[in-house]
């Protein structure tokens, strides 16, 4: 049995029946990481000794019959989640040797169920990017074709799942950073409603946009991970006090009633955007027909302010980033320049050496937009546009249950292709940004393969706190097109 090919659900069943051990499962993933990650570069930190210790502990718990859903399951964490005693770098030189003294709430939840935390994955520095090329350490490569990017900023997590280095992974999504890399790597990525999952212990990029979510092999695994990760957290002031449903009920609903009675909206503005690859259009049309074939009613809807989404996002996110990253000044923690003669010079040199070019670019944009005389013209106006975008979605969901779009305008591009053109890179997230601006949930489900052998994903979005509709529709679509797009052998 190739243990590295198991989904979370399959591994859970075998562990519970004691047909495999967590140590065996963890070793299978560690062996694969050792063999292939020198090419893929999905991980910043892997501690085999610690992972096997956690696996041994999990096996003892399973032997006593005290196991929970994720006991013994190897999971990877994006290196933006604080992990007690383990380096948490945010893929930045400024935090290269930072070791947190506490766990993020999401990490605590996995530890409470004795999951195996197999490693910390690579990312765009401070989650700013769409390709994982902005990591201060190295670029991650797409397991489907190592000349291409895996997407970003959670590219390491998506590549790790696609390369079968772990059973599932945790990512964060500020403007598409779970869904876009999931699409590029042929896996499932779920961005929950803003406030559904605690952000406590997640190093902040843009506080009103960031959300933590799962990246998995299939929709059922994503539902199970969200069951564990979600819930109100008093340590996070933005955590919503909403009742937590069992998200796997979405799968039960599909099995009982299919997708009959569900209406999906297609925004007319999305189909007229420039720069959409013809193969993405073909994939999307095929996905539409597939959903119609399994009982979904398709209708055209309107999101009138779509053309303003990218501009508004790239004011709001950098403004919040400039405030959040001000704390990295060389005084309290992280790298400090030791050659400066005075405090102000130390600040300047520390930030210039510690932050990469993309992070510096966004800090400068944000600081300028928040400065005296410009706040109302930039941040104030962008916030007003955001309110209009939220109203667009509210009206749209009066007509439909879910909204459909491609995840990305193109399949994964080549490494280095867009690095010198930030504006073109920003447009990689044109379909995903509005979901974060509105705070609604979205999911990426594998939907096809391009002529060059690269995966493409279908995005579904739903009302606030209605992830169950996404699970139901995503699972149904997955069953119709084939549960898993199998990777070529590495």
Token pair 């961005």 is at which residue?
Answer: 191
Task: Determine contact, residues 354/271, Cβ cutoff 8 Å.
Answer: no
φ and ψ at 444, to 5 degrees?
Answer: -110, 125
Catalytic residue among 41, 92, 130, 177: 177
CA atoms within 13 A on the CB side of 369: 25
φ and ψ at 204, to 5 degrees?
Answer: -80, 140
| 339, two tokens | 């050659």
Q: What is the DSSP secondary structure assignment for residue 487, as one 8-state letter? A: P
Q: How would you list the strands of the sheet with 168-173, edge to edge?
A: 43-45, 116-121, 74-78, 168-173, 211-216, 188-191, 442-449, 455-462, 402-406, 263-267, 297-301
| 460, two tokens | 């579904």
| 150, two tokens | 């895996």
Catalytic residue among 22, 41, 92, 153: 153
* C-alpha pair distances (Å), 490 with each of 25, 276, 366, 455: 19, 29, 41, 15
DSSP for 94-162, written as a single string: GGTT---SS--HHHHHHHHTT-EEEEEE--SGGG--SSSTT-SS----BTTBTTB---SSSHHHHHHHH
Token pair 């209406």 is at which residue?
Answer: 263
Catalytic residue among 21, 22, 41, 78: 78
Coil, helix or strand at residue 422: helix
| 261, two tokens | 């009675």
In whole angstroms, what is the distance from residue 76 CA to residue 81 CA? 11
CA-wise closest residue to 169 among 146, 128, 207, 140: 140
Pure H helices in 326-466: 343-354, 357-370, 381-396, 422-426, 433-438
CA-wise closest residue to 227 among 243, 238, 208: 243
φ and ψ at 419, to 5 degrees?
Answer: -60, -35
Token pair 């959670």 is at which residue?
Answer: 154
Q: Is it true that the peptide bond before 153 is cis, omega within 30 degrees of 0?
A: yes
The question of whether 469 is a catalytic residue gets the answer: no
Token pair 């210790």 is at which residue?
Answer: 53
CA-wise closest residue to 227 among 459, 482, 8, 433: 8
Q: Annotated active-site positions, please?
A: 78, 153, 177
């Amino acid at each position: 049995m190739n243990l590295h090919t198991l989904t979370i659900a399959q591994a859970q069943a075998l562990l519970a029946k004691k047909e495999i051990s967590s140590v065996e499962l963890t070793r299978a993933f560690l062996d694969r990481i050792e063999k292939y990650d020198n090419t893929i570069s999905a991980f910043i930190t892997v501690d085999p000794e610690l992972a096997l210790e956690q696996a041994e502990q999990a096996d003892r718990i399973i032997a006593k019959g005290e196991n929970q859903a994720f006991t013994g399951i190897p999971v990877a964490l994006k290196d933006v989640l604080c992990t007690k005693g383990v380096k948490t770098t945010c893929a930045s030189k400024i935090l290269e040797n930072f070791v947190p003294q506490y766990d993020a709430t999401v990490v605590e939840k996995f530890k409470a169920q004795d999951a195996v935390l197999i490693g910390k994955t690579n990312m765009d520095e401070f989650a700013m990017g769409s390709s994982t090329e902005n990591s201060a350490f190295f670029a991650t490569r797409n397991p489907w074709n190592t000349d291409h990017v895996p997407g970003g900023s959670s590219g390491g997590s998506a590549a790790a799942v696609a390369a079968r280095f772990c059973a599932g992974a945790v990512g964060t999504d500020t403007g598409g950073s779970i869904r876009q890399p999931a699409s590029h790597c042929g896996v499932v990525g779920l961005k929950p409603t803003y406030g559904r999952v605690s952000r406590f212990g997640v190093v902040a990029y843009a506080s009103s946009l960031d959300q933590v979510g799962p990246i998995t092999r299939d929709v059922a695994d994503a539902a199970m991970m969200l069951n564990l990760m979600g819930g109100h957290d008093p340590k996070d002031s933005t955590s919503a006090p909403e009742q937590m449903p069992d998200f796997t009920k979405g799968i039960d609903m599909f099995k009982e009633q299919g997708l009959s009675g569900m209406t999906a909206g297609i925004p007319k503005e999305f189909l007229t955007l420039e720069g959409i690859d013809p193969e993405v259009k073909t994939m999307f049309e095929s996905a539409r027909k597939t959903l119609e074939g399994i009982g979904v009613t398709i209708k055209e809807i309107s999101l009138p302010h779509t053309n303003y989404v990218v501009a508004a996002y790239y004011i709001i996110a950098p403004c919040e980033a400039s405030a959040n990253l001000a704390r990295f000044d060389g005084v309290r923690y992280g790298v400090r320049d030791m050659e400066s003669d005075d405090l102000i010079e130390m600040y300047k040199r520390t930030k210039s050496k510690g932050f990469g070019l993309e992070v510096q670019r966004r800090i400068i944009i944000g600081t300028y937009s928040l400065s005296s005389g410009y706040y109302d013209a930039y941040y104030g106006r962008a916030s007003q546009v955001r309110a209009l975008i939220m109203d667009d979605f509210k009206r749209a969901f009066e007509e439909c249950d879910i909204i459909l779009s491609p995840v990305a305008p193109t399949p994964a591009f080549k490494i280095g292709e867009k690095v010198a053109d930030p504006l073109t890179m920003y447009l990689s997230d044109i379909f995903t940004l509005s979901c974060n601006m509105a705070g609604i949930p979205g999911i990426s489900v594998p939907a096809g393969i391009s002529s060059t052998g690269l995966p493409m994903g279908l995005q579904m979005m739903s009302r606030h706190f209605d992830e169950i509709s996404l699970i139901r529709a995503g699972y149904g679509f997955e069953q119709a097109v084939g549960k898993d797009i199998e990777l070529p052998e590495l």
